[in-house]
Structure 1
C-alpha cells in the first residue's frame, strides 16, 4: 500500500522533509511506502537545494488540498493565511494534515480539531513546538498517565542565542541581534521572536495538550527580551543567576474551578536549575507531573533537519494507523485531539513570583528606607536591598523580593515611581 503526500511549501523545512522522504534507506521501513505526489511552491523557476521532478511542482496550492489521490497534506508555508484556509479545505476533502505552523494552531486549533474530528482525519503538529524535540507526542502518549502540574520551557532558539551571547561576551542586545540576523538565526523582522510572541504560541499549544482544554492565545501573558541590558546580565551573574526567556504553564493547586497560569517573560534562573545551562539556539522543555516527577526534553529547536525529523515522524504516525485501520469509525484517541472546554487562565496580577528590580535614585539619605516602606505597605517582602554603585550622580540600587503577588508588587512600584528621589527604574525581571 502506497501513501501519497501533498507538500505545501519547499522552503528550509519543506526541503528537509522532501529529502528524508526521497531517501528512506537506513530509516524506518514504513518510509518505503510514502511518496511525494505534489509540491506547492511560490515560483516554479526558483533554484532549490533539492531536485524534484518538475511535473510534481505547482503554484496552485488549493489543487493539492483537493487532489483525490493525496492521503496526507503537509503544511509548511507558515503564517496565518492562506495556511489556515488550506488546512481546513484539506480536512474538508478528507485529508489528514501534518503542520509545523504554531501560529495557526495556537489561534485556530479548536476550529481545526472540530473539523478534523467531524471528518475523522488526524491533524498532527509535533514540529510546531521545539523543532526536533519530541514533546507533543510524549504529552499525549508516553506521559499520558500523569497529572501535569508545570511546563517550563526555553522554546525559542533566537532569543536563547541572543541571551547566551550577551551572557558569554558581555555585549548589548542590539549588537547581538544584528549578529543573529547575519547568521540567519533571526528574521529581518525579529518581533515574533524577541517580543516573546513565538514562545507564547508554543506554550499555548503545550498547555492545551497537557491540561486537556482549549486555550485562548490572548490569555497568555507575553513579555520579550528587548529591554534586557548587559548590566542586567552582569547583576544576574553576581547574584547566582542567568537570564532566560521562559514559557511557563502552571496549574494552580486546589483551585476551584481549575485555573492555569500562562506566561512568557525574561526570568532570572538559578545557575543550579536544569534550564540554566541550555545555551545557543537549543531548546529545552521541563515537564513536571504526578507520579512522574520532573523530566526534561532537550535538543535543537529549529532548522531544516530537526524540524523535518518531527514532520516526518508525524507522517509516519498517521501512515502506521492507516495501515492497521484505514476505515476507522473512530479516531485513535492517542493521536487525535478533542478538548471540549476552554481553560480558565489566572490574570498575571494573581501570579506569585519573586522579582529583581534595579532603581536609579538621587544620592540622598533615607532612599533605601523609603523603598522598604513602600514595598512593606503593599505586602511585598524583600529578600535583599543593595546599593551597588553609581551611574553618574545617581545611586544604583538592586532589590530582590521574596515570592509575592504580582498585583501587590505592581502597586508598590507605582507608588515608588512617584517618590522624588526615584529617577528611573531600568529593570524589572521575574525570578524563578
Structure 2
C-alpha cells in the first residue's frame, strides 16, 4: 500500500476503505508518512469529503492512536459533554456538579483554551489548590465516590489528531466537516464516554458561523456516534452574543457558582446548562422525558444539592471548597473600568467575537500557546440584546490588571463597538436553534427552552 495511491484515490473522489484509512493514521502517528503527504491527503479530503463510514473509521483510528481511558470501573452510564467553543461558555463548570447531583456520573477530561478566554482547565485553576491532573486510578475512584471529576487531558490522547490538526492549521484545511467531526469525536471516544451530548455553537462568536454549517457538523458527529455505538445528541445553540455575562476565568467561575446557588434565573447560561444537562440525564437513564429531566435538575439547584456537589468535587481535587461560599477569594483584577453607552436605542446585538477578543487582549486568553493567562481579568456585561439604553448607561465593566492601561483603552473601544444599537425595539436571536439525534433534526421552535 502506498500513500500516494491513497491520496490520488481520494483526490479523484474515491471512497477509502478501512485499511487505507488505518494506513494513513498509523503513518501519521509513527512518522512514517511525511508531513507533505499528510497535508496533501487532508486537502483531498477537504475538497472531496468523506461519507459516514469513512468518517467513523477515521474517528476510531485516531482514537486508537494513543491512550484510551477504560472507565468500565465507574458505576453507571458515563455521559460526556462537549462544546465546539464560544464566549462566556461556562456550562461545564455548572454541569459537572449539577448532573452528578442528579445521579449521572461525570468523568470529564477537558483542555486549556487558545483564543478568547481560557478553557475549562484554566478556569478551574483559578480555584486555589485545585489539581487538574489525577492518575487514572484517582480519577475513577473520585467519580465513584463523589460522582464527578474534571481533569486535564492526558498527553497521549489522540496523538494522530494533534499531528493532523497542526498540519490542517497551516494548510487552510481546518474547515472540513469530516475532519472537524472526527477530531472532536475521537477525543470523546478515547476519553471513555458511553454517551455524548454535543453543544454545537453557531453565529458570530462560533467556529461555524452559519446555521447550515452547524447543523451539517452536528449531523456528522451524531452519525459517527451511531456508527461506533455511542449514543450521541447535538444541541445547536446561538453564539451571536456571549452566553454568560462574564468573560474571563475567575469571573466565569463566580457566575457558575451563582447559577448553582439559584441566584441566576432565566439567564441564557442557565437555560442552555439546563437543556444540555437534561439531555445528559436522558442518555444516562435518569429521566423518562425532557420535562422530568429539567425538573430533576431544577430541584438539585433549589435543594442546594448541586452547590454541595461542587464543594465536594473541589475538595476532592485539593481545592479550596469554601470559595463557593466566599468567591471573593478567587483571583481578582486590580481595577474595574466601566464602558458607557455613547448613544441611545435598543441593543440589536452584542458581537460575541469582538467581546472575546477584547477579553483576550486584557489577558484572559491566549493568542499563542506560550501566553500566560491572567486568571482575574476579563469583562462583565451589564446589558444584552433587546434592552433599551440611553447615553451614559453602563454597558459592561472591564476587569483590568495594573499596568495595562493601554490594553484597557483598546479593549474599551472593542467592547463599545461590539454593542450595535437600533432605533426601534428588536427581537433577540434564538438561544436554541435545533436538536440533532440519530432520528433527524428537530427545529428550534419545537425545543423546550
TM-score, normalisation: structure 1? 0.24
> Which structure would you say has the larger RCO, counting Cα contacts within 8 Å and 6 or more residues apart?
2
Question: If each structure's helix is expressed as a fraction of its own residues, which one has the higher value?
Answer: 2
TM-score, normalisation: structure 2? 0.23
Greater radius of gyration (CA)? 1
